[in-house]
Chain A
């Protein structure tokens, strides 16, 4: 048997190298597209070239004659069994929820919508045969822009379905707290701004891919998904195939960022094709196909008003939001802006707040979760407008924040939007960031450059953000009309040899759960880190779970792991007491060993107890022969990471070029399990938030064609586009889970966009520039300067 090696404690907080890496760096990977099955067929989809059109005929007969083709189908061929793609978040009772057939039957509503498919012996033949599909369309008017979509007499996106009811308005969702009117009426200053959240493409590096194999009357489906459990449930509900006959596996998954938090047309159709053809089928998107048809993110217009006293005290906030749903409601499409509703007040105290969101249908790819999902939008608006408020008052934007934020001695604090922030210390994070960034020094340099009329101006952007994550308390999700809960499950099994298997319902795709969960378990059970195996991402292996999104995995899933460990130890203590002929209450457990308090008696290791449980030769009365336990944790509250991000940019006022000079992020994500993994999450989050600020935009033309449909046009930043970052942390542990963790997956993205755009605007403030549309491309920046100069609004930036 295995004796307990050195202690496993003190793993938490240590930058352990990742267990995941060994396979990934040697190419021993299992991406879904790597999977081969005997007799496997390949699927290709014919996609709508029109933003909006009636399908008048589909003829698959010529395609059927192409070499290698096994079958070809139209949407009508699956009309009776394909159901409607699910939306799990009907945010209001009267929300329009138009049918969304996986393969269009009568009408298409965005460019890229699947219309027909070909199944062939290899992927090249399937792609070739698409040419031979004969589909006729009768074009209908495209509806691209949200404001015109809401105008009278605008063509309807869903007229043909009879579900448009005379409007492209999908829902209205209002909320108001406090006396908003009097907050604004009595205010010294009211500032109103309109901010645009451009449409973004999540662009995980691994394209979507799905393989489905029929196994008798059951099916195994591999998918590049973040949410195997949700996919399984929804496939069952969509197709009527019983849930217990569907096994979903998320093998190695190459990033998601929300884009793989979805139940897709291709997953449903792979399942139905496998059932119909009795053969394994595979579909993998091309990048262009993916940009057109993997859900997009953001796309909101925010009208924001803030009311304040002349000393900078914020009295109230009003937010009126237009949110572009795209053509259909996908899994959480309408819920994304609603998640943001609670975050607009940010870290600030105020007397009144109102929020109103209108969801709008357009003939574009549906939007849905993208890293941060609702919270980056809210944080952007509040962080931008408080900076503008400071400017209006003539106060340093940091000082204005200090006057309004919740102070560390006020926690727990229930903010105006009704959330109770359990813990935080905004002063500490800000003080540290200001010091690391050399805020005062950079302000001094900025003054010098402004005074000398330097063509390269320096701008400083501030984001003192918080966010709500750790999704989510099931009770709250229910109140918000979400269709499921937010709990997470884990199982911990002691094997006879003393090794440990941990089963988690979270589904990592780059976050390093295997490593972090091993650290947690090593500490909890006092076993070596190496002795822990973490299993996930397969509904047969990990039958219960709510998967990975919303910075929830550690906060919710990690807590379930801790609770399962506690239960294993409870069982072990009972058995150990029996083995050691001692009273349970007299046992102490530390470093993986039970000792009898106050005696010199030899200790018993957890591994010895595990073997005894397995052998079961001498168990205490009523004990079972196992040292296994599982636990389901449902959080009481969200968690609230926060921090202060400071960005310095240099803006060449002659060329419009923006260069990131320095970026300092001090985050408080509570207790950290693995600092390198946490830093990595912040790095990647920053890159995506900065990308929204400076580089990325999904652009549709007026006909509804996605102009940025390749990686050449949609400019995901490369190493050459980004700087190094200065990171640090402050730690106020969360009080709402035993780990004290707050979540870190989205924080960097949420925080960084306003810091960067704020810096660009700050650089150009002397020219009279007060806002800049994202992304702040050289052309936009140059034009803003030129227009400001023309308008003669310069206040001295040029001599």
Chain B
């Protein structure tokens, strides 16, 4: 069995994996990273999207051994120290999720989109998220969420070290805003 070294959500792992094992199954079953779900078997739905070295990939279309030497970020690492990432906050505040099954993949894909294009139009957001399906929301609020997260992230990266902005997602966490909703007790009223 191939041996891999991979960093997932900031922790490095040294593992034996079956050569054919998909990254998403490695994440879910070997590492217990069940925050990333599986929605299809033809790489159409995008539910399994994670970042590999900052770029979005469908983790059902990558073999675990192809992740050798790479840095994987899943939805579980977006919030740093309890502070929600702007994309998470925006999804929450715009009601961009219902069942939430597509949400991890949708947010990860959106981050990649915003890395490429920090100020996308609605049209560009819709085109950019074409690889991610949502059956619940009709996408209206997802588009809003991405637009609003983009605005917050632009404002944040306009701060001093913005030029050295990396693709490392957790660094984009905004900390100056109101505290994140605690556990299951919900957010502020709007």
Which A residues fall within an 8 A CB radius of B? 14-29, 31, 33-34, 36, 122-124, 203-207, 252-255, 257, 286-288, 509-512, 515, 518, 529-530, 533, 676-677, 679-680, 683-688, 710-712, 716, 718-720, 722, 724-725, 748
Contact = CB atoms under 8 A, between A and B. Distances in A.
A718 B46 CA distance: 11
A719 B126 contact: yes
Given A530-B186, A684-B135, A252 B140 contact: no
B151 interface: no
Contact of A26 (B29, B38, B76, B137): B76
Contacts of B130: 718-720
Given A27-B35, A712-B42, A677 B95 contact: yes
A207 B107 CA distance: 20
Q: Which 5 A-B pairs have the closest CB atoms?
A: A27-B35, A24-B100, A254-B101, A510-B99, A683-B138
- How would you classify the secondary structure of chain A's contact residues: helix, strand, loop or mixed? loop
Given A27-B104, A710-B41, A257 B76 contact: no
Chain B interface residue number, banded:
35 or more
A720 B126 contact: yes
Interface in B62-116: 74-76, 78-79, 84, 88, 91-93, 95, 97-104, 107
A255 B135 contact: yes
Could you say which of A29, A288, A679, A686 has the most chain B C-beta atoms within 10 Å of its C-beta? A29
Contact of B92 (A17, A203, A204, A680): A17
A25 B44 CA distance: 21
Given A207-B39, A710-B41, A25 B126 contact: no
Interface in B109-147: 122, 125-127, 129-143
B188 interface: yes
Contacts of B31: none
Interface string B40-67: 1110110100000000000000000000
B129 A29 contact: no
B83 to A, nearest CB: 11
Given A25-B97, A31-B37, A509-B99, A530 B185 contact: yes
A719 B136 contact: no
Could you say which of B33, B137, B143 has the most chain A C-beta atoms within 10 Å of its C-beta? B137
B34 interface: yes
A510 B134 CA distance: 12
Contact of A257 (B126, B131, B135, B181): B135
B133 A21 contact: no
Contacts of B180: 22
A303 B182 CA distance: 56
B78 A510 contact: no
A287 B34 contact: no
Nearest to A287: B40
Contact of A718 (B92, B104, B133): B133
B133 A31 contact: no
Could you say which of B125, B136, B188, B190 has the most chain A C-beta atoms within 10 Å of its C-beta? B136
A205 B143 contact: no
Contacts of B98: 255, 510-512, 680, 684
Contacts of A515: 186
Interface of B: 18, 20-21, 25, 28-29, 32-42, 44-45, 47, 74-76, 78-79, 84, 88, 91-93, 95, 97-104, 107, 122, 125-127, 129-143, 180-190
A722 to B, nearest CB: 6
A505 B88 CA distance: 30
B97 A24 contact: yes
12 contacts: A16-B190, A22-B180, A122-B29, A205-B133, A205-B134, A255-B101, A287-B42, A684-B135, A719-B126, A719-B129, A719-B132, A720-B129
B138 A684 contact: yes
Could you say which of B29, B36, B129, B186 has the most chain A C-beta atoms within 10 Å of its C-beta? B186
B9 to A, nearest CB: 10
A123 B103 CA distance: 25
Nearest to A681: B98
A716 B79 contact: no
B138 A687 contact: yes
Given A18-B187, A205-B101, A205-B136, 6 more contacts: A31-B101, A124-B25, A204-B101, A287-B42, A683-B137, A720-B126
A287 B129 contact: no
Contacts of B101: 31, 204-206, 254-255
A732 B17 CA distance: 61
Nearest to B91: A25
Nearest to A17: B187
A91 B116 CA distance: 57
Contact of B140 (A204, A253, A530, A725): A725
B42 A684 contact: no
Contact of A207 (B29, B38, B136, B138): B38
A396 to B, nearest CB: 29
B44 A26 contact: no
A569 B12 CA distance: 55
Given A206-B37, A254-B37, A510-B98, A23 B184 contact: yes
B189 A17 contact: yes
B41 A286 contact: yes
Nearest to A713: B42
A33 B189 contact: no
A17 B95 contact: yes
Nearest to A674: B95
